[in-house]
């Protein structure tokens, strides 16, 4: 399975975090490859190869929206994998869909069911791009055509996101609200409206992502040391959090880790 990720063009940076592609030479992809770890982000995925299936009904789709998540989700590949996707910045997907964001949390839905106009333009634009190397640019052009009419999340919300990421999720919500000059209740309303998750929950996801990154960099992890470095109370706390987010203990992590 080949995976590549790149930064978006300058005009899209306020809206898009990354453009990515995923392909497999053999079909179908190996078990576990469709596992999507929680990262609190929304993503749009287009399949240019065989359709992908959405559990539990396993309906075959070519364009899907991955709502913001705080638990593991899975796609089922029906054959050869040839995907192109965009990871949206927090708060951006709210302006693209026609349903309340809370209904998309931890879900994978057909893009046409929540953003029919965007779905139609992606079906036309990406399919007509031809060679796989041209598809990321084609997808960016379609997304850009929609963001021209969209205002990026306001400065207050962006500052909150940046502060949480800078602290790798290790920040008290009351302290964050005080730093931003708002009430905790106001902060929570903004997160639920723009992400669908509470700020506390999103902090936990960011800390989990930091753990995943650390685990991916080393083949052998000292769990107690990792837990301490990332701000968990102890190893047991880290293992409980990991299992809550992924349904498995960290010793069963399925993603490739470097040497």
pLDDT in tens, 173-228: 999 999 999 999 999 999 999 999 999 999 999 999 998 888 877 666 788 888 98
Looking at 34-38, 92-96, 98-102, 255-259, which range is the least confident one?
A: 255-259
Question: What architecture is domain 2-147?
Answer: Sandwich (2.60)
Check pLDDT > 80 for residue 160.
yes
Domain with CATH 1.10.10.60 in the chain: 155-252
Looking at 88-102, 143-157, 195-209, which range is the least confident one?
A: 143-157
- Concatenated DSSP letters for 68-118? --SS-EE-EE-SS-EEEEEEEPTTSGGGT-SS-GGGTTT-EEEHHHH-HHH
Closest CA relative to residue 44, chosen from 72, 71, 16, 25: 16
Find which of 89-93, 219-223, 255-259 is predicted with most confidence, using mean pLDDT.
89-93
Task: Report how far residue 243's alpha carbon sits from residue 247's, in angstroms, rounded to the nearest whole number.
Answer: 5
DSSP assignment letter at 29? P
Question: Superfamily for 155-252?
Answer: Homeodomain-like (1.10.10.60)
Supply the pLDDT for residue 254.
55
Structure tokens at 253: 């992590």
Backbone conformation region of residue 123, classed left if phi is above 0, alpha if psi is from -120 to 50, else beta: alpha
Residue 237: CA count within 13 A, CB half-sphere:
14
CA dihedral for 28, 30, 31, 35, sign (positive or negative): negative
The four Cα atoms 71, 77, 78, 81 give a dihedral, to 10 degrees, of: 150
Check pLDDT > 90 for residue 119.
yes
Closest CA relative to residue 184, chosen from 163, 205, 208, 160: 160
Supply the pLDDT for residue 252.
74
**What share of the chain has pLDDT > 90, as a percent?**
56
Domain with CATH 2.60.120 in the chain: 2-147
pLDDT in tens, 25-75: 655 555 446 888 898 899 999 998 889 998 888 888 999 999 999 988 888
The four Cα atoms 110, 115, 120, 122 give a dihedral, to 10 degrees, of: -80
Peptide bond into 182 cis (omega under 30): no
Task: Report how far residue 127's alpha carbon sits from residue 166's, in angstroms, rounded to the nearest whole number.
Answer: 38
Confidence of residue 258 (pLDDT cuts 50, 70, 90): very low
């Amino acid at each position: 399975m080949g995976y590549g990720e790149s930064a978006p063009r300058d005009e899209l940076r306020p809206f898009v975090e990354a453009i990515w592609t995923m392909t497999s030479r053999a079909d179908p992809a190996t078990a576990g490859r469709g596992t999507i770890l929680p990262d609190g982000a929304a993503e749009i995925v287009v399949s240019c190869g065989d359709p992908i299936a959405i559990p539990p009904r396993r309906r075959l789709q070519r364009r899907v929206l991955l709502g913001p998540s705080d638990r593991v989700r899975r796609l089922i590949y029906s054959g050869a994998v040839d995907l192109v996707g965009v990871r949206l910045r927090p708060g951006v997907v709210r302006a693209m869909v026609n349903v309340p964001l809370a209904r998309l949390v931890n879900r994978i839905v057909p893009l046409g069911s929540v953003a029919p106009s965007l779905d139609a333009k992606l079906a036309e634009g990406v399919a007509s791009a031809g060679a796989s190397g041209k598809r990321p640019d084609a997808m960016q052009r379609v997304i850009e055509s929609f963001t021209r009419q969209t205002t990026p999340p306001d400065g207050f919300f962006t500052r909150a996101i940046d502060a949480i990421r800078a602290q790798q999720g290790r920040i008290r919500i009351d302290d964050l609200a005080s730093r931003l000059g708002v009430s905790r209740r106001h902060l929570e309303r903004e997160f639920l409206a723009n992400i669908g998750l509470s700020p506390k929950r999103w902090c936990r996801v960011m800390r989990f992502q930091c753990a995943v990154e650390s685990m991916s960099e080393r083949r052998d992890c000292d769990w107690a040391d990792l837990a301490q470095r990332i701000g968990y109370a102890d190893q047991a706390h880290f293992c409980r959090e990991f299992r809550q987010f992924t349904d498995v203990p960290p010793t069963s992590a399925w993603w490739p880790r470097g040497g």
